[in-house]
Structure 1
């Protein structure tokens, strides 16, 4: 390589692993197909920026996003940049079942992909009660569950006993079609397959709706892996020369004048908007939905991981909060499909400047709110609900034909 030439991320990361400079960054296996990357949360009491953010900082420096002595240190943004780069790269695949995030020195494990983009057969982890079926990937359509699907052996047994005789290849085709929505040549009905809670989410889209006093004033579907800012204004991170270009989408609060409101309420809303200048940053990661509050104005929320359902949940300023956990959602979805639990919750609500949830005041009377829906969750539920409706229609017709 020529002097000064830029390395690709894969080559850069391998160089860092081999250097031994970063504590916790090491090979996971002797064959050097997987590696550990330290992943300590900045909120931990023993978090030390110098050591725990060293690798993330090095990546920011290498990409020209941070200049020592000139730019303000931002460990959270450094980590976000490397996380997004890993997620977008076709050279790496997270191995969630090997992650250790609840120990003193937490880490994630990534598999280095081969030239074909597929892992070696020996790299695929399989338990004795599961059959693993690789899933096709389409770069044009965002997939909500990536890399592989795990199905219980009981599903295969159910197909053999209840459906017409099939080859194993045909059964695999049916299983794949349950997730993708593609129609197999043989249209016989098969049981719904179970999702693997360790599967990786690759659909980072969110639907965000802004509401003023219960009225919808703006709706947007975000598409950036870096998420979106909801804010008053248009410069959430400060000087672009210092922080680098902001790749997160921006959703600005519209003027209260755009909604028919009493003058006293519009004045109160304008006063509140003055304190939401830097807003909040929302994003979807493979392991869940996150938020960070930058604005001075207080922000409250409700959602799947909220501590309280009958009293306010406050977002502390400059701290990252997890609003939805992917693993929990997929577990609950699997239980729902098996008839063992309710439909999993996935919708998130934000309330700006007023306490929420508030049992004494309905949300339709709150000045400014936002409804956030991670689309990977909604798409999964819609797909299975549609399938359930389809099967009920077939069953009610008796002859297997739709009216």
Structure 2
């Protein structure tokens, strides 16, 4: 006989009272506010004890099927809190000595003197994780939207469901190409974003404590056989200086270069518009809004093309190329996939596949998922 899933509010109170999890404790005498350690996995002092509460909820709720993936456990736990109307009142995840968040108990739920819930918790479980069926009900609304359910309302619901806002949580899959040859691929688990740098001695991403961004080093061009190409690539890398930022601020993905070398961007490696888009050095430059992507999903439901979930960066050379030279002729190209958008896009494509009548449209959608 299958075990029923526990109710989060009752379960969480028991865990906090138990004192089992380091750093998980009440922060006021009324026991309406509590602290949860929120340490990024890339920190040098990160340990298994930092994720015990997330892992425990993954185990009892049945959302721990991806074994060992702490970022998924944390995201699911946070989604569960949000679904039950817990309110975050302090975000100190970037605190050097004690990274943590403080949450307030839902207003509609109180505790009597016996420590029991005085109001019955609704028999609703937290939303399943995004990588499984987190947004399927919202996609169904999109496909069945009627006048009584305006698309703007659905847009807002999707933004809320994906937690688009000041605490947007996503990952970035970064693929680096030297003249069309992939030389590295890394997955950055940092909702704040990352900074591309050139530090050959750095073998994996590191956290920059000042900016909160993950430092990702481009690889040395030692594997390039063509000496002229290798020399030109090395020249660009040496001038990268303090690097190139790609970060998240609210619902906006921004870019800003910090070194001497210029950088350009586009939504596609097949961009032949010839209209170069340079990333500013003076200030953060908005590149993409999550809202625009959700609107693209709505347009897709209406029969239009689905929007991009990737950004393409070109270092040291104009892009898109004014002479329409292909992307694989560029010395350094970097593809950045925003994984939360990729997941939603794939779900939208899969959800709409049965209703698509045109084989050509299906093929074009598959091509766009790649490009």
- TM interval, shorter chain, is 0.5 to 0.7
Deviation for aligned residue 1:319 = 1.3
Give the secondary-structure state (helix, strand or coil) at the position aligned to 2:233. helix
Deviation for aligned residue 1:282 = 1.4
Map of 1:223 onto structure 2: 189
Superposition map of 1:250-289 within 5 A: 250-260=215-225, 262-289=226-253
Superposition map of 1:55-70 within 5 A: none
Q: Cα deviation per residue 1:195-229 (whole Å; 9 max; x = unaligned)? A: 53643334321111111011111111111122111
| Residue 309 of structure 2 corresponds to residue 346 of structure 1 | yes
Q: Cα deviation per residue 1:168-189 (whole Å; 9 max; x = unaligned)? A: xxxxxxxxxxxxxxxxxxxxxx
Q: Which runs of 5+ in 2 are unaligned?
A: 1-24, 29-77, 90-101, 110-123, 148-152, 358-371
- Normalising by structure 1, what TM-score? 0.48
Partners of 2:172 and 2:186 in 1: how far apart?
8
Q: Cα deviation per residue 1:367-398 (whole Å; 9 max; x = unaligned)? A: 111011111111111112222335679xxxxx
Q: Cα deviation per residue 1:91-146 (whole Å; 9 max; x = unaligned)? A: 6479xxxxxxxxxxxxxxxxx97503889xxxxxxxxxxxxxx99346x7679989
Deviation for aligned residue 1:298 = 0.7
Partners of 1:234 and 1:363 in 2: how far apart?
25
- Asked if the contact 2:251–2:291 (Cα under 8 Å) also holds between the matched residues in 1, the reply is yes
* Aligned-residue CA RMSD (Å): 4.5
- Asked if the contact 1:303–1:324 (Cα under 8 Å) also holds between the matched residues in 2, the reply is no
Partners of 2:145 and 2:265 in 1: how far apart?
42
Q: Between Structure 1 and Structure 2, how many residues are aligned?
A: 236
Deviation for aligned residue 1:270 = 1.1
Map of 1:24 onto structure 2: none
Q: Which runs of 5+ in 1 are unaligned?
A: 1-7, 12-86, 95-111, 120-133, 159-192, 394-403
Give the secondary-structure state (helix, strand or coil) at the position aligned to 2:342. helix
Deviation for aligned residue 1:278 = 1.3
Map of 1:312 onto structure 2: 276
Partners of 1:332 and 1:208 in 2: how far apart?
23
Map of 2:298 onto structure 1: 334
Distance 1:384 1:114, change over 3 A: same
Distance 1:355 1:135, change over 3 A: farther
Q: Cα deviation per residue 1:285-332 (whole Å; 9 max; x = unaligned)? A: 45132222111111111139xxx9422111121411122111121112
- Asked if the contact 2:169–2:190 (Cα under 8 Å) also holds between the matched residues in 1, the reply is no
Give the secondary-structure state (helix, strand or coil) at the position aligned to 2:309. coil
- Normalising by structure 2, what TM-score? 0.52
- Asked if the contact 2:192–2:213 (Cα under 8 Å) also holds between the matched residues in 1, the reply is yes
- Asked if the contact 2:190–2:214 (Cα under 8 Å) also holds between the matched residues in 1, the reply is yes
- Asked if the contact 1:301–1:348 (Cα under 8 Å) also holds between the matched residues in 2, the reply is yes
Partners of 1:266 and 1:277 in 2: how far apart?
18
- Asked if the contact 1:211–1:369 (Cα under 8 Å) also holds between the matched residues in 2, the reply is yes
Q: Could you tell me which of 346, 349, 353 is aligned with 1:382?
A: 346
Partners of 1:118 and 1:347 in 2: how far apart?
41
Q: Cα deviation per residue 1:343-375 (whole Å; 9 max; x = unaligned)? A: 112321111111111141221111111011111
- Asked if the contact 1:289–1:374 (Cα under 8 Å) also holds between the matched residues in 2, the reply is no
